[in-house]
Amino acid sequence: MSGEFHDGVVKALSNEALRGHLRRAMDSLIEKRLAVFPDSDELESLRHRCMGIRANALSKLPDLLVHLEARCEEQGIRVHWAETTAEANSIVLEILRSHRVERLVKGKSMVSEEMGLNHALEAEGIECLESDLGEFIIQLAGETPSHIVMPALHKSKQEIAELFHEKFPDIPYSDDVDELTAVARGILREKFMQADAGLSGVNFLVAETGTLCLVENEGNGRMSTTVPPLHIAVTGIEKVVERLTDVPPLLSLLTRSATGQPITTYFNMINGPRQPGEKDGPQEVHLVLLDNGRSRIFADEELQATLRCIRCGACINHCPVYTRLGGHAYGTVYPGPIGSILEPQKEGLERLGELAEASTLCGACGEVCPVRIPIPKLLNRLRWEGVRHDGSGETAGQGKRRKQSQALAWKGWSTLASHPALYRTAVKSASRFRRLLPQQLGPWTHVRKAPEIAEKPLRELAEEEGFSHE
Amino acid sequence: MRLLQREGLRVIFPRNQTCCGQPAYNGGYRDEARRVAAAQLDLFPQSYPIVVPSGSCAGMMKHHYPDLFAGTPWQVQANDVADRVWELTGFLTEVLDLQLKDLGEPVRVAMHTSCSARREMGVANAAEALLGQLQGVELVEQDHKSECCGFGGTFAVKQPEISAAMVGDKTESLRRTGAELVTSQDCGCLMNIGGAFEKQGDGPKTCHIAELLWERTRER
Amino acid sequence: MSDARSHILQRLRAVGRAEESELARPVASHPWSREEKLQRFTECMSAVRADVHLTNEREWCNDLQQILMTKGARNLVYAPATPHGQILQSGLSSGDIELIPYDQEIEQWKSRLFDETDASITSCHGAIAETGSLILWPDETEPRLLSLVPPVHCVLLQADQIYSTFAEAVENQGWAEDIPTNALLISGPSKSADIAQVLAYGVHGPKSLVVLVLR
Ligand code: SF4
């Protein structure tokens, strides 16, 4: 990974246009969020409540999943379980095959990105069409989402206009947003009509009522889950909440944190397939519950908090590192702070542990997270897991980032700093011989001058001034 | 220290103090961090408040010591120390209710509040309130004020490119304010920002807030 | 497949159950009067470019006709078995607007619904003042796609059916005991900001949402 991430960073940082574009986008998202939380007491009590709702759900996760399954089945929703993404893909494929599906239309789903579903299905000759406008754009461009809520956030209007012109040469060039939207609407309406099946993600699962909740603005989610005769929903096992009354506060914080909207245009609650006498809706609804490392994350009391996430993206919008890099540099499905805690745990520290180091721990993410995931604390914990060598704990790839040279350096440092006399001598000689110290301190001095060491250490000054040091 | 003493406090500077252990802690080396931190615990045996002139060290001692020492023989002692830790500007405003009389020349100052002072210690307002008392100080505000300067300790070394981009933006924001002086309650940020200004060849001077307050209010 | 189920559950069950987290008190609802609720609802709806018209049981048919004409709609899809459907059949006087009943399964007339309809009308199950949302519970008489496919969606709302918050509606209407196959909150016309954060309306669903409030 190391090389990959570094290459991504260098590439992203050298793209001036991207950096300006990201900064403006993030500034506006931050401002919009601020505007819908005028009352910080209300915000804090709502965050506290939502954290409680999610933590409560996790505390009974296995029971809630079993209950959810039973409620869904009662209502005619078929429930499937998958331990790995490969298993999830083959479940979806099997359902599609048994219905002879050739064309699938998709609503936005990060879990399907995690599964690499489009590739898996296309390899089997099934057409997968993304119908969320942002997803549609990046599918046209052959890219991956750069943000979990706004997948095409990295693209400017001109880039999209050129992309449409290249892919649909029959339609006159335009960089007018309304016209571009109309083009997509026209194309996708045809596809909704023709699709043999629709696939979506899920924002919340309600165990009490067996409900699949979907949050969206465009209506493509509703189209995908209502028009085709077959609907498959894919989601992670952690998405369940206990009661229906848990939903309103979560929904309120989700949309306000994500895009600064009091609510999205559509909130769609699905409780089953078309009933006798109903004139539309899918004849079959399937729910695929994916583990893919989540149960392992679940096993650690502290890291379990990762699973509270409701995928609002606020941590990403407020992250100074993401603002510099954009999503692609991370090279993962989930970018930004949430990605930096989730991905190393999912994929192993050996490969992705570096992401936990790519943070100043400034805390901007934790400050806005609607379910109060202590992201900086978890990043720090993952750094520890990366170099830990006591063999306890669950995290994948534990200890794999330990380098002998580094470990020795820290050991040496700790010896010095836990023996005051030694430390004093070291600091003193650094002061005395400061002129002899290097002026080039590796990468630090590329953009900064090396810090100057004081003529006299503070302790000596304090002593001279007569401060007591009992 | 002189500032505190002037207010009639008896200031004790434990001779054996070294480092709070934060660098190793943030690098993932918890055992090493604990070893160093443990050596500090004994230095503050009395029930006096512990005033720390750097937000991130204060944050380490107040918020991370309890975790670092949980389940160890030092647990009780670590919690006790954590309870008594104050960040300097927070201490000056909340405990001492410090009143200042400015004796210095007029100057434009921009304040960079460190992330740990802002988010861990919650003292972003304290420093500004103190600066606000100084008549000669015109406090100017940079854009993206609450954003991190890109230091992050080991981060600056492990991810030098991202760190450079961040401090580049931060110095530009500060420069745009026309400030002659940039101050902060955190030494790490100052080293980062000041070092970048120096490398760029010009820019505002940097100075720790304690020094700024002292220099402007002391009778000569 | 059932293997995956038992493996996952086994792993989850192996973890000691965390203490049940105590939920903070529900955030207090708003003490809004009927008028205040209507006002808040109207403000929120207008903020997302929905049209809210105050009318009453006698006049809504005429008002609707006016609105449809100004929007250039030539036809209106409706649910014939609903009370308002009955009224429309006799009440819509102008021959300029063709009434299209949604009285067959979608598969029978998908392309007509998608390609030839201009507007639709539905009832609703109440509304939410705080966020400016309509509650729809589509059923056998009033299908789901009525509120999604035609470019203009009109909704009849009883003024005394506006709840302060979503939580209040869920509680007072007893959703948990009696949830329909599909329940929806609709808060404005379809929109997207996926192109350069610029807001565009009518992406996949209706471009225009009209609420007729009956007092
Ligand atoms: S970690 Fe928190 S802020 Fe980030 S996406 Fe998840 S819920 Fe949102």
Using one digit for the tens of pLDDT, what is the confidence trace for A177-195? Answer: 999 999 999 999 999 999 9
What letter would DSSP give residue C20?
Answer: P
pLDDT for A385 beyond 80: yes
With CA atoms as reference, the chain A residue closest to C194 would be A134
Residues comprising chain C, all counted = 215
**Two structure tokens written together for B91:** 């201490």
> Residue B150 is part of a domain; what is its CATH number?
3.40.50.11810
- Could you list the residue range(s) of the whole structural domain that residue B31 is in? 2-93
The shortest C-alpha distance from C76 to chain A (Å) reads: 18
pLDDT tens, position by position, B96-128:
999 999 999 999 999 999 999 999 999 999 999
Provide the b/e sequence for A418-435 (b: ≥16 CB within 10 Å): bbbeebbebbeeeeeeee
User: Considering CB atoms only, which of A384, A420, A467 is closest to B16?
Assistant: A420
Residue A193 shares a structural domain with residue A130: yes
Report which protein residue has its CA nearest ligand 1's atom 2.
A369
Which of A258, A292, A326 lies at the terminal end of a domain, its last residue? A292
Name the neighbours of A, counting chains with at least 3 Cβ pairs within 8 A: B, C
The Cα C74–Cα C97 span in angstroms is 5
pLDDT for A140 beyond 90: yes
Residue B157 shares a structural domain with residue B191: yes
Low-confidence ranges of chain C (pLDDT < 50): 1
- A415 CA distance to ligand 1 middle (Å): 39
Residue B130 shares a structural domain with residue B208: yes
Q: What's residue C24's pLDDT?
A: 53
The Cα A102–Cα A196 span in angstroms is 7
The Cα A220–Cα A200 span in angstroms is 10
Question: How would you class B70 by CB atoms within 10 Å of its CB: exposed for 0-12, middle for 13-18, buried for 19 or more?
Answer: exposed
Residue A23 shares a structural domain with residue A147: no
- Could you list the residue range(s) of the whole structural domain that residue A433 is in? 418-464
pLDDT for A440 beyond 70: no
With CA atoms as reference, the chain B residue closest to A366 would be B119
Q: Which of A241, A294, A309 to mutate to test the pocket of ligand 1 (most atoms within 8 A of CB)?
A: A309
- Taking only residues 141 to 170 of chain B, the set having a beta carbon closer than 8 angstroms to any beta carbon of chain A reads 146-148, 150-168
Residue A185 shares a structural domain with residue A310: no
Residue A363 shares a structural domain with residue A383: yes
Lowest mean pLDDT among A212-226, A269-283, A392-406: A392-406
- B120 CA distance to ligand 1 middle (Å): 19
Percent with pLDDT over 70 in chain B: 100
Instruction: Please compute, for residue C27, the number of CA atoms within 13 A of its CA located in the half-sphere on the CB side.
Output: 23
Residue B116 shares a structural domain with residue B155: yes
Average pLDDT over residues A113-119: 96
Residue A225 shares a structural domain with residue A329: no
Local confidence band at A420 (pLDDT 50, 70, 90 cut-offs): confident
pLDDT for A470 beyond 60: no
Name the neighbours of B, counting chains with at least 3 Cβ pairs within 8 A: A
- A203 CA distance to ligand 1 middle (Å): 13
Q: What's residue A418's pLDDT?
A: 82
pLDDT tens, position by position, C159-176:
999 999 999 999 999 999
Asked whether the beta carbons of residue A417 and residue B18 sit closer than 8 angstroms, the reply is: yes
Residue A275 shares a structural domain with residue A385: no
Local confidence band at A408 (pLDDT 50, 70, 90 cut-offs): confident
Report which protein residue has its CA nearest ligand 1's atom 6.
A309
Residue A197 shares a structural domain with residue A222: yes
Lowest mean pLDDT among A74-78, A173-177, A423-427, B28-32: A423-427
User: Considering CB atoms only, which of A359, A366, A462 is closest to B13?
Assistant: A462
Residue A147 shares a structural domain with residue A207: yes
Q: Residue A60 domain-assigned? A: yes
Q: What's residue A431's pLDDT?
A: 67
How many domains does the structure of chain B reveal?
2
Which of B48, B63, B93 lies at the terminal end of a domain, its last residue? B93
User: Considering CB atoms only, which of A81, A150, A262 is closest to C44?
Assistant: A262
Beta strands A211-216 and A204-206 are antiparallel
Q: Residue A407 domain-assigned? A: no
Local confidence band at A446 (pLDDT 50, 70, 90 cut-offs): confident
Local confidence band at A416 (pLDDT 50, 70, 90 cut-offs): confident
**pLDDT mean across residues, chain A:** 92
Which of B93, B126, B145 lies at the terminal end of a domain, its last residue? B93
Residue A285 shares a structural domain with residue A303: no
A310, A203 Cβ separation under 8 angstroms: yes
Amino acid making up residue B109: V
Residue B112 shares a structural domain with residue B205: yes
Q: What residues are in contact with ligand 1 under a 6 Å CB criterion?
A: A 309-315, 338, 368-371, 373
SS3 A251: helix
Question: How would you class A98 by CB atoms within 10 Å of its CB: exposed for 0-12, middle for 13-18, buried for 19 or more?
Answer: exposed
Report which protein residue has its CA nearest ligand 1's atom 8.
A312
Amino acid making up residue A49: R
Residue B163 shares a structural domain with residue B182: yes
pLDDT for A438 beyond 70: no
For tokens 């006498």, name the residue: A277
Q: What domains sit in chain C, N to C, each tagged with a CATH number?
A: 28-214 (3.40.50.10420)
Q: What's residue A1's pLDDT?
A: 47
Residue B199 shares a structural domain with residue B105: yes
Residue A245 shares a structural domain with residue A335: no
Residue B117 shares a structural domain with residue B72: no
Residue A81 shares a structural domain with residue A14: no
Chain B touched by A465 (CB under 8 Å): yes
Which of A292, A314, A347 lies at the terminal end of a domain, its last residue? A292
pLDDT for B10 beyond 90: no
With CA atoms as reference, the chain A residue closest to C205 would be A219
Chain C touched by A28 (CB under 8 Å): yes
Which of B93, B120, B139 lies at the terminal end of a domain, its last residue? B93
pLDDT for A301 beyond 80: yes
How many domains does the structure of chain A reveal?
3
